[in-house]
Amino acid sequence: MLIGENMKFLFSGLSKGLSSVFTSLFVYMGLLVLINQASIANQGVSPWIKTDQTSVRLIAAMPSIGDRQIIKLGLQFKLKTGWKIYWRSPGDAGFPPSLDLKQSENLEKIDFGWPLPTRFLVSGIQTIGYKNEVVFPINATVSNQNQKLKLRADLDYLACDEICIPYKAKLSLDIPAGPATNLLSENNHLINQYMAKIPGDGKAHKLKISSVVTTGAFIEVEKNIRKGFITIKAKSGLPFKDPDIFIEGPELTFFGAPKLTLNKDKSTATFIVPVTEEENAKIIASSIRLTLKDNERSAERSLQVISSEASPPIKNQQFSFPLIFGFALLGGLILNLMPCVLPVISLKILSLVSHSHSSGGTVRLSFIASALGIIFSFLLIGGGLICLKFAGSTVGWGIQFQYPWFIVGLSIIVTFFAYNLWGLFELRLPTRLTDFANNSGSHNKNQLSFGNNFITGAFATLLATPCSAPFLGTAVGFALAGSIIDIFVIFLALGIGMALPYLIIATFPSFVDKLPKPGIWMVTIKRILGIALAATTIWLLSILAIQVGTIVALIISALLILVGLSLIIRNRQKEDNRLPTTIIIIASILGAFWVPYNISPSQIQIKNQKQTYWQDFNPEAIPNLVKKGKTIFIDITAEWCITCQVNKAIVLKSQKFKDLIASNKIIAMQGDWTKPDEKILSYLRKFNRFGIPFNAVYGPGSKSGDVLPELLTTNTVLHSLKKASKGKLIF
């Protein structure tokens, strides 16, 4: 009994002791968890620096540097009701937050972002800034990823309500080196939320700032103080709701609150903004930064202020409509001599030889078909440009070459023409059309087919579009600046002009009898012409390589070669077994259109080989250079513009032109329009031009720019330079 009681007492004591130990252990572990959670909660943030009106701190999106070189940070403000801080351009009063990080360690540079602000108007005084809460996103680049980032910031800012109070604050935040860990989700989400509010180019929000011009003259109201207005136009793919515009301009220039008007469907907003200039400031020809706001949508763009009175564009009234119609006929005719069209002209010459023993009616029908193909294509292009113009899109001669889908489609067509000449492919129309259009007595339906010749004419028009012949630019500019009827009539004239040689042969078919007789030599000629078309495809794909990358161009090349191999195999198969190769051909064609928009661009792209003596195109700098007495030569070019390449080979790459630039007698600027460029488009529109090549010369004798012909000669260029320099240039 005594032993049992003693054992019972012993176990009871042991149980109580263990219970006490476990309780203590759980309490200790709980404290460790709380301490760890508190430590995690404090990671990636600096302590709040609080005043009676504001609270501010630094936050980080990640607790450690890891393998990142750029660290996402944020400068977070919380403001009491009614109080505000300011944007980078504060308006009539105030100053923006200023962050000095010179005392930081392992910090190479920062990129400070400004979220979209709000306009405040009190007693006629307008200010621009933020209320309640704002986070300024900061991208901090570290010098060494293996070292701690020590942020030591001196912050100056102004907080205002009925009164304004300047504040200073010292902020400190350390981000250790070490392995990458998970993002601090709350901080990361907050920084990303405000980063999304930083204005971009507006494409994602379907917004675009289109122009800024002065309205009337700037009148001097006091000594060295002038007042006037500027008008800003903006467009939206969605109806505007509550648009506003913020303007940042040169020093000593001040902008008032804008007056807004909207068109009927609210797709265009017009802002009239009062401007005050002090001392020697000049808003005209200055580049100003514009930020467009429509609730949460935004767009930002820098534009040159154009005087409504200076350098007006060429007006259609300077030319009579019959004269422009004549220009269009002549320009279309000259297109037949352009290098773009030579591969198709060669095909037609080959067709002429094939017709040498055909009846006059057969020859006439063939050439009428080609002429109709040309005219129809010009009308189709005109109709497409009308649709683009009224949709608010870019319009111009040859601009379709700026888009990968067009180059891919044209490459496929050219390749099939080459395969046709090599005997791998025969173009056939549906039976009813063939029976209707073909001459039943023809001995060579492939050569004399109405459909084939119609397509040849259309193909010639497509290849002509990257060329600009003399008189063509004037005619196209007149058409695109005019009405729907102007566009259709001028493009009809262009088509008739280009089709004129075909119509002449259709009128006098006996001309064909004077050509050499067909023979075995034609097979060799067809193969050579096929090689010429293959070279055209390579040229088209080289343009594609510049636009979307070499990898994309190589993939499409491989798909076109696969089409050729499939055609060879298909020709050797029985008709019942051709379905798999047909599927491969169709899949290859569809894949060629798919690739440019779904394969990431290559990091190594073919670049436009610009000689070192060319400066980048900068229209904003031209007025100041002219004031200094400089002579400037402008060249707007593109890799797809054949006429541009001809001008380069004959004139712009000549030793005489190079020596002239090397002597520092002129400044040469070159703009590349291989891909869409709004700056170049706006510049061309000032001259009522919608295509390239475009060359102009500026100087003391040609302040508004002297536009040169599409086809350059050395004498033309030198004469224009001499005129622009007022005879100062001696050659």
Q: Determine the pLDDT at residue 282.
A: 73
Listed ranges 84-88, 213-217, 672-676; the one with the highest mean pLDDT: 84-88
135 and 56 in a single domain? The answer is yes
Does 398 reside within a domain?
yes
DSSP string across 28-86: HHHHHHHHHHHHHHHTTBPPPEE-SSEEEEEEES-SS-TT-SEEEEEEEEEE-TT-EEE
DSSP sequence for 520-548: THHHHHHHHHHHHHHHHHHHHHHHHHHHH
Query: Residue 17: exposed, middle, or buried by beta-carbon count in 10 A (0-12, 13-18, 19+)?
Result: exposed
CATH number of domain containing 57: 2.60.40.1250
Residue whose pair of structure tokens reads 């990142």 in the numeric block: 68
Across 245-260, average pLDDT: 89
In a domain, 10, yes or no: no
- Do residues 90 and 238 both lie within one domain? no
Burial label, 427 (beta-carbon count in 10 A; 0-12, 13-18, 19+): middle
Q: Tell whether 440 and 291 lie within a shared domain.
A: no
- N- to C-terminal Cα separation, the chain: 132
Q: Is residue 476 part of a domain?
A: yes
Q: Are residues 588 and 624 in the same domain?
A: no
Report, as an integer, the average pLDDT of 120-129.
85
In this structure, is residue 24 part of a structural domain? no
Going by pLDDT thresholds of 50, 70 and 90, the confidence category of residue 515 is low
Residue 545 placed within a domain:
yes
* Tens digits of residue pLDDT in 654-701: 888 888 887 778 899 999 888 888 788 878 877 877 778 899 999 988
Same domain, 180 and 247: no
The residue among 145, 168, 195 that closes a domain is 195
Tell me the percentage of the chain whose pLDDT exceeds 90: 30
Domain residue limits at 699: 615-724
Q: Which amino acid is at 536?
A: T
Domain boundary among 304, 336, 363: 304
The order of strands in the sheet holding 694-699 is 615-616, 667-672, 632-637, 694-699, 702-707
Indicate the residue among 195, 227, 261 that finishes a domain. Answer: 195
**Cis amide leading into 693 (omega within 30):** yes
Confirm whether 730 is domain-assigned. no
Asked whether 299 and 292 are in contact (CB, 8 A), the reply is yes
Type of residue at 7: M
Q: Say if residues 547 and 673 touch (Cβ distance below 8 Å).
A: no
Tell me the pLDDT band of 59, cut-offs 50, 70 and 90.
Answer: very high
| CATH code for the domain of 659 | 3.40.30.10
Whether 412 and 349 share a structural domain? yes
- 17 is a domain residue: no
Average pLDDT, the chain: 80
pLDDT at 196: 93
Q: Is 288 found in the same domain as 149?
A: no
- Give 71's strand partners: 140
Q: For residues 150 and 221, state if they share a domain.
A: no
Mean pLDDT value of segment 694-711:
88
**Each residue's pLDDT tens digit, 305-324:** 876 644 444 444 456 778 88
Same domain flag for 495 and 572: yes
H-only helix segments in 252-359: 321-335, 342-354
Output 429 or 497, whichever has higher pLDDT. Answer: 497
- What's the pTM? 0.48
CATH number of the domain enclosing 271: 2.60.40
Instruction: Based on the fold, state whether residues 150 and 187 are members of the same structural domain.
Output: yes
Q: Tell me the C-alpha distance between 215 and 277, whole Å.
A: 15
Could you give the number of structural domains in the chain?
Answer: 4
pLDDT at 39 over 50: no
The answer as to whether 202 is a domain residue is no
- Do 233 and 107 sit in the same domain of this protein? no
Higher pLDDT among residues 476 and 85, named by residue: 85
564 and 436, same structural domain? yes
Helix residue ranges per DSSP H, 391-430:
404-421
